[in-house]
Every structure is written in C-alpha cells, then in structure tokens.
Structure 1
Amino acid sequence: MIPILMFVALIALVMINVPIAVSLGVVAMGALWYTYGFDNLVMSAVVLFEGATSFPLLAIPLFVLAGAIMNTSGISRRLIAFASALVGFVRGGLSMVNIGTSLFFAEISGSAVADVAALGSILIPAMKRLGYSKEFAASITSSSASLAIIIPPSIPMILYAVIADASVVQLFVAGIIPGLIGAAMMAGLAYWFAVRYNFPVEEAFQLRRVWVTFKEAAWAFLLPLIILGGIFGGFVTATEGAGLAVAAALFIGGVVYRELSFRELFDSLRSGVIQTAVVMLLVATSALLGQYLTQARVPQQLTQAIISVTENPYAVLAMLNVLFLLLGCFLHGAAAIILVVPIVMPIVHTIGIDPVHFGLIVTLNLAIGQQTPPVASVLMTACSIAKADVWDVSKVNVAFIGVLVALLLLVTYVPPVSMTLVEMFYR
C-alpha cells in the first residue's frame, strides 16, 4: 500500500512543479520515516553522497562539456557544411544532413537535449530559409536527436549501466546497429516527405566542395575515433574516454580552429555544470528511494506478481515496454531510469533477459518519451528554437515517432539486431 501512496505523492508533487529530484527525496524520506522511524533517517546524508559518487557517473559531466565546447568552437558548423556538400543535392537533403550530423554529434555529447540545442540553432533556421515548414524542421531535428542517444556514447546508457550493474562498453556496442538502422529508416521517411511536399534541393553536387568541407572538418572527425576507438579498443574506460573527449574538443576548437574564446569556454562550463547538477541530484535522491524499496522488498514482490501472471519473456517485455512508454510521457529520461530500473531488474534476471539487451530497450523507450508531451524535453527544445507550436509539430512528428516505435519492436523481439556485435566481441 505504501509504495502506491509513494507513487501518487510523487506524481502530485511533480504536477505542482516541484522538481523531480526534490520530489523523489521528499517521498523517499517520508516513506522511510513512516515505516522505520526517525532513527532510520540518520544515515540519509551518507546515502545521498554515496549515490552520486560512482566513478562511471563522472562520464556524464565530461560528455556534456565536450558537446558544449563542440557547439561554441565551430566544430558543429564544419560538420554540417560537410554533410550538406555530401547529400545536399538530394531532394530534402538538408533533412538528411540533420539526421547525419545528429548521429555524429551524439558520438561526442551523449545527450539528445545538447544535440538539439547545438545543431537545431544552426539547422532549423537554415531549413526555414530554404522553404521547409518550421513544424517539419523541428520534428526532424527533435526525432533524429532522440534516435542518436542509442549511438555510443549515451548518457542514459551510462545511468542504466550504473544502476543495473551492466557493462557500459557492451551497452555502447549494442546500440551501433540499431542506431544505423533507425537512421536509415528515418532518412527514408524524410525523403518521402520531401517528395510529397516538394522540399527543395539545396545545391548541385560538387566534388570539389565535398573535398574542401572535408578538409575543414577533418580534425572534427578525429573526435569519435579518439573516443570510441579508445573505449572499444580497451585502452580507456567510458569515463576516461569522456575526459579524452573534453581534451580533444578543447585542442581542436581552441588550438586548431582558434574559435574558442575564454568567454565561450566559461559559458560551456556553466552549461555543463547546470545540466550535471540536475542529473546528479536525481541520482542522489534516487539512492534514498532505492534504500526504501530494498528494505521493503518491493522489487521482489513485483517480480512474484508478474511471474504469477506469465513467465513468457516476450509478454513480460511487452508489459515493461508499455510501462516505460507511459512513464516517458511524464518523467525525464534520467528520472525514469533511476525510479524504475531498480524495481524491474529482478524481473529481468528471473526470466532470463540479458541486461545489456534490456538496457537498449529502456533507452529506446525513453527516446520515444522525449518526443511525447507533456514533458517531451527534446521536442520542447526544438519547438522553442523553431518558434513553432508544440501540438502542430507533434502532428508531423507522429510519423517519426512511428519509426522509433518500429525500431523498438525490432530491438525487443529480434535480439540479434542489438546483440550480434556484443556476442562477437565480448562473449
């Protein structure tokens, strides 16, 4: 009964605009006090501290900072120019550029919101000038950014790995093939829109311009090679790879391109601190919630309740997909991972689902949640940049959400799509 009251109280606090992290802390401490007495709260400060001091979590502020530096140092602009020279001759080519640069940018920042903020400020105005509707421009920018969070590195994957005690590197590898498949599906849908609505061809293909823009962006292409090559090659951990990302972005933006001023670096640091503080406070307060759930044996009770209904892995995955899709509409992705994953992991282990496979399913569910109001953090950011009404954008975005849902079903029920590379290199 108490867990249900906790959930109702949490939703009520969130609905009156109490920050999610604060709501989690209040609800967890209230439940601990009511169930076990005041003495149980003595160690709350220690639990909060230990919850946010995991070494893998250090990757989050570092990847966020690397993405902010990329945006302010001319790296993003050069990547867009190269992609435009490569596919700008295709009808609706700028939408293809949007998808491609989102995937590339996500390989450094790991954040869909950072992706939209960085690329959307450049691409959305450019698309509007060329005759794309602002609703379509916001939609393709938002959806491609959410798709990109399953491409390594990914902040939601790092959070999941810490909470579920799974391998960060294996999660990163599992996202590669689904990410490329999703990008191809999204590009096909964008081309269909372009033909139907007669979107413009940006310019004729010029091999010379491809070469010129490639040379200008060549240093930027080293970033994913340094980060992912180091991580997948076993030379560095994901956290150390995040540190390499910051160092490489500073060197390329500040020394090679010379477009990173001290003022812009300060703004990047401030942005990184703000985003990191939000996530880390969530992680810390979730540790209190986890303490109560563990003492009350809520995960074990939920596991028994579901197993009493069915032990079919596909049926259980269907129920968990519905749960995460619903939560994604109302909770920030990090909050959903922190709140629900500790509860459902015993179910995942009991019915024999690979935690790495399940981690990709969770990440995709939350990617869809970033596109569905009322929360829809990524969609809201894109709409703000495009100066478009969120509901008008959502009407266009339904088709792109359909791509994400199709990819989710493919990953859920055809495990080799995500697990082939993991099995090949790590099992």
Structure 2
Amino acid sequence: METKKTVVAAGQNGVEDSATDYVIRVLDSPLQLSAEAWNSLLTQQPDASPFMRYEYLAALHHSGSATSATGWKLRLVTVWLGDVLQAACALYIKDHSYGEYVFDWAWANAYQQHGVPYYPKAVVAAPFTPVPGARLLARDAESRTVLVQALVAWCEQEELSSLHVLFANPVDVAACADAGLMLRHTVQFHWTNKVDGYCDFDDFLASMAQDKRKKIRQERRKVADAGITFRSAQGRAITPQDWDFFYRCYERTYLEHGNAPYLSRDFFQRMADTMPEHWLLFVAEREVQGVKIPIATSLIAISEDTTCAIDLKDTSIQPLVAYGRYWGALERVDCLHFEACYYQPLQWCIAHGVARFEGGAQGEHKMARALLPVKTTSAHWLAHPAFADAVERFLEREGAGIAGYMDDLAQRSPLKITSHVQT
C-alpha cells in the first residue's frame, strides 16, 4: 500500500512557507526493505537496542517465531522522501495479547462483554521483548510526526480496534502524545553503574545496606558450596554446542511452566549467524569425576560489541547496556537462578564498564539485587470513542497508582543512599 502526505511548514507570521511531499508505504515482509536502510535509521535514534535491528526482526519473521501463524502479522510502515527512508517502524497485527508485557486483557474482556471485537489490533513493539527503546525510527521530528499520523490513519483504514506503541523512548512518547495517543506507565527494575564505575563486585556490594549485602553473599555461597562454577562466552566464542545446550535449558524451563517457548531454535541460530556480537552466554557447570557438566545457562544481550572495559566518564562513547533475557536449568540448585541471571551478569557488567543492566519486566525481588525501579511508558489509541474515554479515565487512575507505587519503592531502596529511583 502506498499513500502520499503533504506537510506544509509555516514561515514568518504564520504564512505558508514550503510543502514537503512524503510517501507512506506499508510493506509486508522484511525482504522488501534492506538491512542497511533500516539499521542506518536505527543508529540515529536515542536508546537504540539490538532488539530493533533488522537482523533481529528478520530472524523472528523467517524462523517462524513471530508470524501470522503465531499471531504476529508483520507490517513495516515506512515514510519516504524520494528514495530516502525518513521514518519506519515494525507494526504487528495481532489476534491475542501474548508476548507483550503491557497487559490489556481487561480491555479485551470489556470489549467482548459489550459485543465489540478487540482483535485484531495493532502493536508497535519488539515481540516477546519488554525492553524500552526506540520504536518510531525517524530522521527528524517532522518525519516522526508523519509516521505516527500514518499509523493511526492506516489502523482506521484497516478497521483495527486499536494501536499500541509499547515500551517507547521519551522521543517517541512525546510524538505519540502530540498525536493524541494515551500514555500508560509501568515499572521495571534496572541496575545502574556508578559514574566512575564500580571497581569490582565487592565495591558494588559496599554500596548496599548491610542486610542486603549479607543476603547476596549468602546466596552466592550456596551456589559455590554446591560445587557450581561458571564460564562465559561472547559472540562467536559461543559454540554451536553452547547454543544447543542453551536452547535445551530454555525450552525445558518453558515446558515446565506448561507453555511452549516463544522462540525457536532456528531463531537463535540466526542470532548466532547474523548478530553474534550482541550475545553473552553464562554456563553453570558441576564437576563430576573431573569432568565439568553443564547444568544451566543464562543468555544476556549487549547493546554493542565489547572486548574491553569502557571508560564510563567518557561521554563521547555510547554507554553500554546489557539486557537480561533468557535462562534455563536442567536441575534445581538453591539460588542458582539469582547467580546465573543477576550476580554473574552484574559481575561481568562491572568488569566491562557497562552503564546499565536491565532485568526485564516486573519483579520487586530484583530490588534486593540493586535493580531499582524505573518508569516505562507505552502509548495507546482506541478507535471506539466510548471505550477510548473509559480507558483514558482508567489510565488516569492507574497513573496515580503507579506514581504512588514508585514513591513507596523509593522508601525501600537497598542502597545506603535512598535517592536512586529513576523517572
């Protein structure tokens, strides 16, 4: 589908100065856009994560992990000036609300109770990935505005119930708010390095209250006393055997909870092939008769490739961010999850000058590991006027509750200085 939109810029005294003719194209496959065009746009955005890279989205699509068959029908909404890609986003048409982490089940139920279809709906997101960051990729503010307007217009044309831009960065949030979308806030828990960087894990522990410091040391000791050691591998140092073992653990953890995993083995193979530098694997091993046997893994994503420590005080360097993503185990060991998913990654982050470690959605238990509350924001448009009014009133009440919740969490900081809650 292709449409045109003319934007008229006002000159002095409000007199029309110039007109820009944008072309909006909606593509139904990553193959219709080059990796170079998409990634060059992504790198210009604040908070660009690896989960918005062309390779990541293409792997989800081509591996069958996020397709029409799984309820994630991909559309690339693009804005052009001549042959230049000005703005773009990945939009998914969905017939369910799984894998989003911004929960709208109550909205869907309300629609159903009134005999109004809530599905299909449109979601602008990184599937299965609650990582805040750039969603509306644009070269400038005007192009971003055109993209938001094009999204709403296309959803109206396709008679979709709603549009949801999930875990957006502040620039995207502002553009959505200006276009009349409603904002919804949730809370995640992130670890932040010191400005000059912690010297080591003990230096980090010294920043915590005595009871929290003691608890972490006790948890780490339980894993060590069980004879568990860890090794890590990054990028192409992660062997095919490592990837196979990781997926065995990952799949088993999902199945133990009664669900099939969202992501296929083929998806992770594509990650190993196309963007290996963004992955870090921790493997827990137990020594049996002189042989180290792997028993658990955790897989961490990294914003940029790194093989050496980064100077956090050098503001000219893009700060490194690590993202806790996937984990699995073949046997139960007390506190192994905390060691694999928090303490080993944090120790690595400190050694490599990583500025921030994001622990994923929800989980107040993360605060005891010094992952502090951070407010995240999504934007929502509903086509039905009465439901839009009702949701807007709900979001006002929910927003006040979130603000109170953040204030409460601020009083429970695990750090010695209790002024670390981020907004």
Q: What TM-score do you get using the length of structure 2 for normalisation?
A: 0.25
* Bigger strand fraction: 2
* Bigger helix fraction: 1
Q: What TM-score do you get using the length of structure 1 for normalisation?
A: 0.25
Which of structures 1 and 2 has the bigger CA Rg? 2
